[in-house]
Structure 1
Amino acid sequence: MAKSLPNGREKFNYSNGPGRQSYTARGFDIDNLMYDGIPSGYKGASVGAQPNLAMFDRVEVVRGATGLVTGAGNPSAAINLIRKRPLDEQKVTLTGAAGSWDDYRGELDASSPLNDSGTWRGRVVTSYRDANSFIDHAEEYHGLFYAVTEADLSEDTTLTLGYSNQKDKTNYFWGASMIGRDGHHLDLPRAYNPGTDWENKDQEINTVFAELRQQLANDWKLQINANYAEQNALFSGSYQSRWAADKTLARTVYQAAYDENQAGVDAFASGPFQAFGRTHELVVGASRRIYDMTTHDYSPYDSYWPLTAGKPDFLHTTDTREITTQDGFYLTTRLSLADPLKLILGGRLDWYDYDAHGSNASDYKVTRNLTRYAGLIYELDDQHSVYVSYSDIFTPQSAKDTAGTPVKPIVGKNYEVGIKGEYLGGALNASVALFRVDQQNRATKVTVQTCPQTECYEASGEIRSQGIDFELQGALTDNWQVGGGYTYARTHTIKDDANPQKVNQQFDTDTPEHLFKLTTRYNLQGPLEKFRVGGNISWQSRMYNDIALANGSSYRLQQGAYAVTDLMAGYKVNEHVDLQLNANNIFDRRYYSTIANSADYGGDAYGNPRNMMLTAKYTF
């Protein structure tokens, strides 16, 4: 999914691994995904399943503190996945692909009216992928069934109902490669697999959703969205480790099963209103989210399992259930102060409750948390506008203070100023933004530990991310499309009373400060008009970790700046058949996509070597 996130970055570490990705934006982890506007928690380190993009029409991204739309979360970005909807006309697309390392894919996308008047429509998408990897013995399978129907109940009312089933399996998902005891990269072959032949990750997600759109009088509308997802997952895995005092290489082995249920509903009304002789806009709504996950732990969870030993005889031991409920009410208004000047104000009131049952259970809640948004837009001319905005977001914390009560929530505050341009009749869009994100109230240990629990904290830590975003997207001509972006984000510690040496130091050193992406596609003309060519280049600056060594010293492990280049060529055989060849990492750049942060467990992982994919589409 990372390629769908402009200027976002995919990362993982030993605790989640190459099969359980997490994503970052503006220096912070993305912990929410949205489906048709309904937030859904994303836990890449545990049960986070990457959404199968075959069922989505597009991906919308809003960077920064997005508490007005997501409620609780990190000040990173809101990723909104918009599902495919039935089309007004009949259309069927068959897609088949074959690529490097026995990577085979297939997809069927069929849409049609279901009655003569076209007021009832349906669409079905099904896809599969069966692939090996450049890593020895690594395999993965992905399956999807998606069905959606839409009915115009009247001229003013439309009802949408849908269902999806997603299955994902892999045998390589947890541990990455070790580094040396001295902190250096071992530079193992890219095909090296540090795992075992018994590991597996098996996930299945069933989702039902509904949407009701009602057109009201005076250009007002009412919309209600509902979503329920149920996931069952089983993880059996290991990672190489050196936890023993003599640093003998062994394995940490683990098995767990997860039952995860997420439900969400969002209802809002929107429309214009008149005041002071001008027309303004108003949105008012309410939402409810429930996250319910039960973790079934197994024994042994062993950090000293012999390197060559077989699969442990895992036995079920304990269950832990976590229930998070979040209710919110929100209001947003867009005020027309003058023809070129707009003021946007918004607020959201949230009630957040976390309830845990099982070992080490710890409950906490946040009552009536106010999230704010304010923005001012000034249109310089028909093509350019400048803006300034403030937004915030909150994250509840389980850490307790000296009185034994949870510390107050983390608050992420986003300050932003920028300019946007629209060119060539709206075909080309560009934007530049300067931003600063302050994440305040992070829990830090108090100096004197006099509290009823094991450790006590105070909400005093602060992290700052600041930088610039540049983005260009659209068409230079009818035949030439471009897309590009550059982000500089420096994330550093502003305050940490428990660790004052960290102040002004980079907060997350294995996240690059600079990211650049450029994509282009050109349709040839004349006798070659059936051909198209394109390419993509992604560049990032260095990343590093200071590895603590057994002798008390440290070693700076790093991956230098690197660029990866992809090329594409396509041929439209006729109005029904289209062929495309993609060549990725054409210069076969050898690089680490993520690096270790300790010599005690695996964390080095290579990016994909040069690979190719041939895709054929048939549409009728």
Structure 2
Amino acid sequence: MPRENKTHSFKRSTIALLLQASLATGAVMSMQATHAAEPAAAEAKTYAIAAGPLGAALSTFATQAGVLLSFDPVATQGKTTSGLNGTYRLREGFEVLLQGSGLAVRQESDGSYSLTIAQEPKASAENTLPEVRVKASREVNMSSAMTEGTGSYTIGSMRTATKMDLSIRETPQSVSVITRQRMDDQAMYTLNDVVKNTVGLTVSKWGDERPQFNSRGFQLNNLMIDGLPIFYEEAALSTGLLSQYDRVEIVRGASGLMEGVGSPGGSINLVRKRPTREFQSSLTVGAGSWDNYIASLDVSGPLNEQGTLRGRSVVSYQDKNSFQDYRENKRTLLYSILEADITTATTLSLGASYSKEDNPGANWVGMVTYPNGSFLPISRSHSMSPSWTHWDKESKTVFAEVNHSFSNEWKAKVAATYVESQMDMLGVSFSRSSDDLVYGVGSYNYDITQKSVDGMVSGPFSLMGREHELVFGVSHRVKKDDWTGSWPSGYSFILNPLDANSASSAPYPILQTPNPYANKVEVEQSSIYTSGRFNFRDDLKLIVGGRLDWYENTQNIRSGTWLNNVNYKTTRQFTPYAGLVYDLNDTYAAYVSLTRIFAPQDYQQPGGGLIDPREGTNYELGIKGEHFGGRLNTSLALFQIDLENLPTQLDVSQCAQEQTSCYTTTGKVRSRGIELEVSGEIATRWQMGAGYTYNYAENLEPSSYSQIGTGSMGKRYGTNLPLNIFKMYTTYRLPGEFDNWKIGGGIQTQSNIYTQYGVKQGGYTLVDLHAGYTFNKNIDLSLNINNLLDKRYYSGILSTASGNFFGDPRNFMLTMRYRF
């Protein structure tokens, strides 16, 4: 592999991206002018808009009428409409929808429309009050920021990066959101689907059911659910089908202010659906390639006459085969939540979810290659695992949340969750003996519990004649792992990797009892944190904060006759955060941010003991734009991450005699890159989520061992992740008499990847198509065709004996949604 000119490569890519950003900015300004120039529709049209939430109905009406309507979602929160059925002119339609809401529309100078408070008729002109524009404050309650029903690919505000309710433009870090509408349009059913379609993120695998999420060259090892962090355990944790979530928010770059310890790559926040104040229900059914069937029932609404008690339940089930032999997925989800207004200022939420995944035929380690790393001439349906393998997961979650608003605009929130996960697997791995490929068989059972609680207060304060915002909080979380493992004694089977029927001949193993492997792990983290947003000038904001963490990791390991007890502990570990945002004008803001990284690790050194924690610094600067009243967000970011002590797996010959794996550190790694993203409504009826990422990571200091798989000093780090990634998905609702139709599609392209084992995957491009048809206010149908050109590719690679996985061939999904 020739040595790459890293500096020149980075400079060329940076210049190219700045040119692309300039073109994109020009395009956005052009589209903005197009928006402004669009005349209000004066002709009468026929509408069939169902009764229900006012905000969703207004958005639907504006889209079908071909006009731009801007409003804060909080202004319509809790308000309903009787719907619109018949032929109406624009003003007439607005009046019918807004009847009894206390709101009215106003046409702006650019031809767009906005909501105002309706005026009461007065007896004389002298007594007429001037019109008051609606400007509602955002609420702490997560239900005030739901994307459901908005039809949008972006969001007004999020808390995932700073614990403050800020718009994307106001947040001094790279953030993305996959909304409910986009999940529905792209037929995303799992978290894997979301990550694969998120700007800058990639999915790699240890096995069929062990996905790893990567950002900016590093693995993400934390998740948040409704902003509450939990440890991500890819082997056992089931996040369930996406039907229980309103959206997924993503932070790229270190999020130490939210989590204390974690990956420098970023964090993923899954935001649950919440009960609605009006009754609504829907049934979704789908059928697709490889006998992929899915059904979901979602019911929500008030449970008493006053609406102070509300509930929501979601039931989903998926049963699908695979393009690979023997492979199946069966997923079950049950989700329920109750929300009660204890007082006018206090809301209590209680909920639970259950997720079960049965995965017969799951491949433990992936496909093998020839010893020189070249791919085998085999069909994508070829399975190297016998049908008796499996990887089953089950997770049970209970959670509670209390929100309280004080009279001085301060708010308090306490949230807690308990997650219990189990995993049961039986699988095969591969090793080479002379020219033979020999099966290794293992069975493991994981029992993992997690407890997490977080309490915070936030609110405004005045200083030097200006209003600022503060957040104070405490958190505590505990994870307990109980792992056991077994393998057969004297098991022998030689696989012919070129024979599609060879794996089916493997005999079922008889495992050792009692289990020769056991591992008990307890991780405990306690934290206090604070952050402030200081309003120096109308156009200049500083966000500064930090947290102290007390962290302890205890492990008790038995592997055959080898015993090892490990403990790592740190106290008052400080993680700072700072971000500065400067408004260039009403549309664009420039920002810069930095934060420290601290991530203790549970990887064992040869002979025992834990390797040192990862430490480093995350730098970022960029420009963000908020267009069309927040309906479109754009961003351009440059980032650098300096990180020490990354884990590197050693050859098993370097481990202690009974150790199944051991690790060392990689010295120092630097990751640099550039990101460009566009999300939201780029023109009337036209939604888009798109972005480009260039990321180059290199070893700055050598480790004491050669780095397996990805190069050593002076070469790229993480060569099995692409340098360049472009992702785009878009939908457009046709105008006029064809407005029942929505069409769209997507493109994903990435550059080549490789490893030191000689395994290489060339760059590739995937094309997807989407078409949707709305029959009436209750029923719509959509068709998704993925990998339209049937590109043959590997979605991930690693070594000659593991980590190589075929990407999905061409496939389709037909989905019907019925609202009643």
The answer to whether the Cα contact below 8 Å between 2:251 and 2:266 also exists between their aligned partners in 1 is: yes
Pick the aligned partner of 2:691 from 479, 482, 485: 485
Q: What CA deviation, in whole Å up to 9, does each residue of 1:399-449 have, x standing for no partner?
A: 7999x986653213110000001112221110000000111244799xxx9
Matched, 1:323 2:511: no
SS in 2 for 1:21: strand
Pick the aligned partner of 1:608 from 802, 808, 819: 808
The match for 1:587 is: 789
The match for 2:642 is: 438
The answer to whether the Cα contact below 8 Å between 1:253 and 1:302 also exists between their aligned partners in 2 is: no
Q: What CA deviation, in whole Å up to 9, does each residue of 1:371-407 have, x standing for no partner?
A: 01011111111101000100122111457999x9866
Shift of 1:188: 1.0
Match for 1:538: what amino acid? Q
Counterpart Cα distance in 2 of 1:478 and 1:508: 41
Match for 2:419: what amino acid? A
The answer to whether the Cα contact below 8 Å between 1:260 and 1:291 also exists between their aligned partners in 2 is: yes
Counterpart Cα distance in 2 of 1:306 and 1:312: 14
Matched, 1:561 2:561: no
The answer to whether the Cα contact below 8 Å between 2:238 and 2:394 also exists between their aligned partners in 1 is: no
Matched, 1:265 2:463: no
The answer to whether the Cα contact below 8 Å between 1:241 and 1:602 also exists between their aligned partners in 2 is: no
Matched, 1:539 2:749: yes
Shift of 1:504: 2.3
The match for 1:7 is: 199
Shift of 1:108: 0.3
Matched, 1:41 2:231: yes
Q: CA, structure 1 residues 591+443, in 2 after alignment: closer, same or farther (shift >3 Å)?
A: closer
Q: CA, structure 1 residues 131+342, in 2 after alignment: closer, same or farther (shift >3 Å)?
A: same
Matched, 1:211 2:408: no
The match for 2:331 is: 142
Q: CA, structure 1 residues 239+11, in 2 after alignment: closer, same or farther (shift >3 Å)?
A: farther
Question: Which has the larger displacement, 198-207 or 121-130?
Answer: 198-207
Match for 1:462: what amino acid? K
Pick the aligned partner of 2:275 from 70, 83, 86: 86
Counterpart Cα distance in 2 of 1:386 and 1:97: 44
Q: CA, structure 1 residues 248+346, in 2 after alignment: closer, same or farther (shift >3 Å)?
A: same
The answer to whether the Cα contact below 8 Å between 1:2 and 1:10 also exists between their aligned partners in 2 is: no
Q: CA, structure 1 residues 225+302, in 2 after alignment: closer, same or farther (shift >3 Å)?
A: farther
Match for 2:539: what amino acid? P
Matched, 1:342 2:541: yes
Counterpart Cα distance in 2 of 1:429 and 1:399: 40
After TM superposition, the score normalised by the length of structure 2 is 0.70
Q: What CA deviation, in whole Å up to 9, does each residue of 1:499-542 have, x standing for no partner?
A: 58822211111110111111110001122111110101111111
The match for 2:624 is: 420
The 5 A counterparts of 1:55-454 are 55-171=244-360, 172-242=362-432, 244=433, 246-300=434-488, 305-307=493-495, 308-314=505-511, 315-317=513-515, 318-359=517-558, 360-397=564-601, 408-442=612-646
The match for 1:551 is: none
SS in 2 for 1:73: coil
Counterpart Cα distance in 1 of 2:192 and 2:620: 24
SS in 2 for 1:546: coil
Counterpart Cα distance in 1 of 2:809 and 2:319: 19
Match for 1:343: what amino acid? L
Give 1 or 2: higher strand fraction: 1
Match for 2:719: what amino acid? T
Question: Which has the larger displacement, 312-321 or 558-567?
Answer: 312-321
Counterpart Cα distance in 2 of 1:127 and 1:173: 25
The match for 1:471 is: 677
SS in 2 for 1:265: strand
Counterpart Cα distance in 1 of 2:253 and 2:435: 42
The 5 A counterparts of 1:484-523 are 484-499=690-705, 502-523=712-733
Counterpart Cα distance in 1 of 2:752 and 2:694: 12
Shift of 1:477: 2.4
Counterpart Cα distance in 2 of 1:409 and 1:602: 27
The answer to whether the Cα contact below 8 Å between 1:68 and 1:393 also exists between their aligned partners in 2 is: no
Counterpart Cα distance in 2 of 1:496 and 1:22: 25
Counterpart Cα distance in 1 of 2:491 and 2:567: 29
The answer to whether the Cα contact below 8 Å between 2:255 and 2:267 also exists between their aligned partners in 1 is: yes
Counterpart Cα distance in 2 of 1:435 and 1:128: 41
The unaligned stretches of length 5 or more in structure 2 are 1-190, 496-504, 559-563
Matched, 1:578 2:780: yes
Q: CA, structure 1 residues 442+195, in 2 after alignment: closer, same or farther (shift >3 Å)?
A: closer
The answer to whether the Cα contact below 8 Å between 1:112 and 1:123 also exists between their aligned partners in 2 is: yes
Q: CA, structure 1 residues 588+216, in 2 after alignment: closer, same or farther (shift >3 Å)?
A: same
Q: What CA deviation, in whole Å up to 9, does each residue of 1:480-513 have, x standing for no partner?
A: 1111011111111111242588222111111101
Match for 1:32: what amino acid? N
Give 1 or 2: higher helix fraction: 2
Q: CA, structure 1 residues 557+619, in 2 after alignment: closer, same or farther (shift >3 Å)?
A: same
Q: What CA deviation, in whole Å up to 9, does each residue of 1:218-270 have, x standing for no partner?
A: 1000000101011121011113332x3x1421111110111110110000000
The answer to whether the Cα contact below 8 Å between 2:426 and 2:443 also exists between their aligned partners in 1 is: yes
The match for 1:618 is: 818
Counterpart Cα distance in 2 of 1:11 and 1:277: 49
Q: CA, structure 1 residues 206+483, in 2 after alignment: closer, same or farther (shift >3 Å)?
A: same
Counterpart Cα distance in 1 of 2:436 and 2:476: 50
The answer to whether the Cα contact below 8 Å between 1:107 and 1:126 also exists between their aligned partners in 2 is: yes
SS in 1 for 2:509: coil
SS in 1 for 2:641: strand
Counterpart Cα distance in 2 of 1:561 and 1:303: 40
The answer to whether the Cα contact below 8 Å between 2:204 and 2:214 also exists between their aligned partners in 1 is: no
The unaligned stretches of length 5 or more in structure 1 are 548-555
Shift of 1:312: 1.1
Q: Which has the larger radius of gyration?
A: 2
Q: CA, structure 1 residues 606+18, in 2 after alignment: closer, same or farther (shift >3 Å)?
A: same
Counterpart Cα distance in 2 of 1:516 and 1:41: 29
Root mean square deviation, CA, Å = 2.6
Counterpart Cα distance in 2 of 1:492 and 1:433: 20
The answer to whether the Cα contact below 8 Å between 2:441 and 2:487 also exists between their aligned partners in 1 is: no
Q: CA, structure 1 residues 407+563, in 2 after alignment: closer, same or farther (shift >3 Å)?
A: closer
The answer to whether the Cα contact below 8 Å between 1:178 and 1:596 also exists between their aligned partners in 2 is: no
Shift of 1:159: 0.2
The answer to whether the Cα contact below 8 Å between 1:222 and 1:267 also exists between their aligned partners in 2 is: yes
Q: Percent identity?
A: 40
Counterpart Cα distance in 1 of 2:529 and 2:282: 40
Counterpart Cα distance in 2 of 1:530 and 1:206: 40
